[in-house]
Amino acid sequence: MLLTPNEMGNIMEANEKMGKCNTSNRTIIAWVEEQAKLCQPDEIFWCDGSESEKVLLTAEAVDKGILIKLNQEKLPGCYYHRSNPNDVARVEQCTYICTETRDEAGPTNNWAAPKEMYQKLLGLARGSMHGRTMYVVPYLMGPLGSPLTKVGIELTDSIYVVLSMRIMARMGDVAYKHLGNRDDFNRGLHCMLDVNPERRYICHFPQDNTIISVGSAYGGNALLGKKCLALRIGSYLGRKEGWMAEHMLILGVESPTGEKTYVAAAFPSACGKTNFAMMIPPAHFKGWKIWTVGDDIAWMKPGPDGRLYAINPEAGYFGVMPGTNYKSNLNAMKSIQKDTIYTNVALTPDLDVWWEGKDGPPPKECLDWRGNKWTPESKEKAAHPNSRFAAPMINNPMLAPEANDPSGVPISAIIFGGRRADTMPLVFQAFNWIHGVYVGATMGSEMTAAAAGTLGQVRRDPMAMLPFCGYNMGYYFHHWIIMRKLIKYPPRIFHVNWFRKDANGEFLWPGFGENMRVLKWIVDRCKGRANANETPLGWVPGPESFDLGGLEGYTPEKLSQAQTINYEDWRRELLQQDELFMKLYSNLPKEMIFQRELLVSRL
């Protein structure tokens, strides 16, 4: 790899720091020494988050074949990574919540007793970094100075994880500055081992604020600040400390007059979450803007004025590549044009990247995500269905100016939604907070072709948190209900479904940027400017409530069809909802049972 004189100078400067401790926090130093004694690395590299360090580690990753330097004219600062073919996604079956009692973890989580799991993990970690470097990665989840921000220290033997954590979190000495001499940081240990699925464990110890991940190098399993701390540990801490860690995007809606309204939304996978967070309003909505605060995770806490405030704890986007293009997500495409790490996409001969759904024709020849020759005639996909990009949020041209505000943004609406071909109307509003909790708790989404299970089968995913809640889901519903007492002016709660189809299997709503029309009604409802009709499900807009101007070929009749409430479908829906409630029955809040009975009576 050819380096510029500046890069060489930066490498020499960073080399002088290599292995040197850069914190005076004695608790951190003692913990790192203890873990180093266990893992026995050849050397310890204390990361500081500097640009010179980035240059050094990137050059080392390229030299070792962990990263491939992409075409710098087309993609400046971008690199390519292939993971082990057996390590390409989150593994729910290997993910554990380790609490003192099984009840604390609940029936929807894998549980293990902490003592036994610690013994197993420490046995696997013992000597695992011999011949390798242990990287000490200090990071912040949340803006510097925010009362919600948490400090994590991840110890890892993966240089790919280090470089990805630089993107996804506020990594470096800034974390030590925020922590000071306190000892309340998340302790994270990540050991790749030999990436053997038989020895793969992602374990959370909420009562110790500790995460140990072994046997995987995939982002969702190895970037311990993301799902592990931000949601599983975060949700446990939120319940304990009086705030909420949610699998939600945060966006700001700005009207032509400059009025800003902030919305949080929870969608399961394959439901357009990132597209919604980075939505571009259609041309008809001249002067309207959508600002992205975050695309995946929201931490929310009542503010002194009685409203619910949210921060995005992350600093980057870890998005799915297939299907991402200039039509589906213009801002995402602009965000990945520089300083991005691409994982498990296809690699073209001129060192560019390609994936199914990218703009333009496929390359005549390239290397697929496994490194094998690929042509358009190949039977296998060129990019893995879960191929990813890690891009800094500062690359987003519509990044909200408030994204780094320590106080967060006031949330006016919370939106739940799933992928449903029938039953669920395009949009409705819950009658009140408790009804909204019931709507979120019964949320479901159809499995896609890439998911395990039956195509089209509805999987219950309460608040899109089923794989990410770090404690008993019944207690989680309780926490939502208790939070209402702490919020003087609670957000309004809505449910949307962009994916309803007609009898011919055609979508009844165009989706993408046209979702702005639904979002505007939601904002207007929050501001008291829009009418709605009462139905058994909640408040729904009438056909006249939507501005359909500029939407060629779309009729009020089609909109009415998208909003239809089919009573037979809803009788089946109620029976299906019972499956999850029965699993959680011993800890299910009575309010959920009452809300179900009220819905039955209204139907």
Q: Is residue 72 part of a domain?
A: no
For residue 554, count CB atoms less than 10 angstroms from its CB and return exposed for 0-12, middle for 13-18, buried for 19 or more. middle
Is there a single domain that holds both residue 348 and residue 497?
Answer: no
- Read off the CATH number of the domain in which 559 is found: 3.90.228.20
Domain holding 175, by residue range, is 5-65+81-86+93-241
Which of 393, 425, 444 delimits the end of a domain?
Answer: 393
Dist CA 47 CA 139 (whole Å): 10
What was the pLDDT predicted at 20? 87
Which pLDDT band, with edges at 50, 70 and 90, does 258 fall under? very high
pTM across the whole model: 0.95
H or E element that contains 213: strand 210-214
- Read off the CATH number of the domain in which 345 is found: 2.170.8.10
- Tell whether residue 270 is among the known ligand binding residues: yes
Kindly report the average pLDDT of the chain as a whole number.
94
Q: Counting every residue, how long is the chain?
A: 603
Asked if residue 580 has pLDDT above 90, the reply is no
What was the pLDDT predicted at 270? 77
**Biggest distance spanned by C-alpha atoms of the chain:** 75
- Tell whether residue 419 is among the known ligand binding residues: yes
Sign of CA dihedral 518, 436, 313, 445: negative
Is there a single domain that holds both residue 203 and residue 274?
Answer: no
Asked if residue 36 has pLDDT above 70, the reply is yes
> What is the arithmetic mean of pLDDT over 83-111?
96
What was the pLDDT predicted at 269? 81
- Torsion angle in degrees (nearest 10) through CA of 368, 374, 375, 378: -100
User: Percentage of the chain surpassing pLDDT 70?
Assistant: 95
Minimal CA–CA distance to 213: which of 234, 237, 232, 235?
232
Is there a single domain that holds both residue 571 and residue 493?
Answer: yes
- On whether the CB atoms of residues 424 and 439 are closer than 8 A, the answer is no
What's the Cα-to-Cα distance from 473 to each of 232, 391, 493, 587, rounded to whole Å? 12, 32, 20, 8
Q: Is residue 71 part of a domain?
A: no
Q: Is residue 178 part of a domain?
A: yes
- Tell whether residue 386 is among the known ligand binding residues: yes
> What is the arithmetic mean of pLDDT over 259-269?
95
pLDDT tens per residue across span 464-494: 999 999 999 999 999 999 999 999 999 999 9
> What is the arithmetic mean of pLDDT over 62-87?
97
Is there a single domain that holds both residue 265 and residue 373?
Answer: no
Q: Is residue 181 part of a domain?
A: yes
What was the pLDDT predicted at 251? 98
Q: Is residue 280 part of a domain?
A: yes
Is there a single domain that holds both residue 445 and residue 331?
Answer: no
What was the pLDDT predicted at 160? 98
**Which region among 23-27, 56-60, 379-383, 446-450 has the lowest average model confidence (pLDDT)?**
446-450
Dist CA 436 CA 450 (whole Å): 30
Asked if residue 453 has pLDDT above 50, the reply is no
Active site residues: 271
Query: What total number of domains does the chain contain?
Result: 3
Is there a single domain that holds both residue 457 and residue 513?
Answer: yes
pLDDT tens per residue across span 145-192: 999 999 999 999 999 999 999 999 999 999 999 999 999 999 999 999
For residue 266, count CB atoms less than 10 angstroms from its CB and return exposed for 0-12, middle for 13-18, buried for 19 or more. buried
Which pLDDT band, with edges at 50, 70 and 90, does 409 fall under? very high
Question: Between residues 587 and 452, which one has the greater pLDDT?
Answer: 587
**Which region among 122-126, 337-341, 543-547 has the lowest average model confidence (pLDDT)?**
543-547
Is there a single domain that holds both residue 338 and residue 298?
Answer: no
Is there a single domain that holds both residue 160 and residue 282?
Answer: no
Dist CA 515 CA 540 (whole Å): 16
Which of 332, 361, 393 delimits the end of a domain?
Answer: 393
- Tell whether residue 186 is among the known ligand binding residues: no
- Read off the CATH number of the domain in which 52 is found: 3.40.449.10
- On whether the CB atoms of residues 248 and 468 are closer than 8 A, the answer is no
Which pLDDT band, with edges at 50, 70 and 90, does 245 fall under? very high
Adjacent-strand bridge partners of 409: 310
Is there a single domain that holds both residue 229 and residue 135?
Answer: yes
Dist CA 98 CA 118 (whole Å): 9
Minimal CA–CA distance to 315: which of 211, 230, 410, 191?
230
- Tell whether residue 90 is among the known ligand binding residues: yes
Give SS3 for 350.
coil
Is there a single domain that holds both residue 235 and residue 257?
Answer: no
Is there a single domain that holds both residue 329 and residue 432?
Answer: no
- Tell whether residue 373 is among the known ligand binding residues: no
For residue 46, count CB atoms less than 10 angstroms from its CB and return exposed for 0-12, middle for 13-18, buried for 19 or more. buried
Which pLDDT band, with edges at 50, 70 and 90, does 556 fall under? confident
Is there a single domain that holds both residue 436 and residue 491?
Answer: yes
Asked if residue 10 has pLDDT above 60, the reply is no
- On whether the CB atoms of residues 323 and 507 are closer than 8 A, the answer is no
Which of 361, 393, 425 delimits the end of a domain?
Answer: 393
Dist CA 111 CA 101 (whole Å): 9
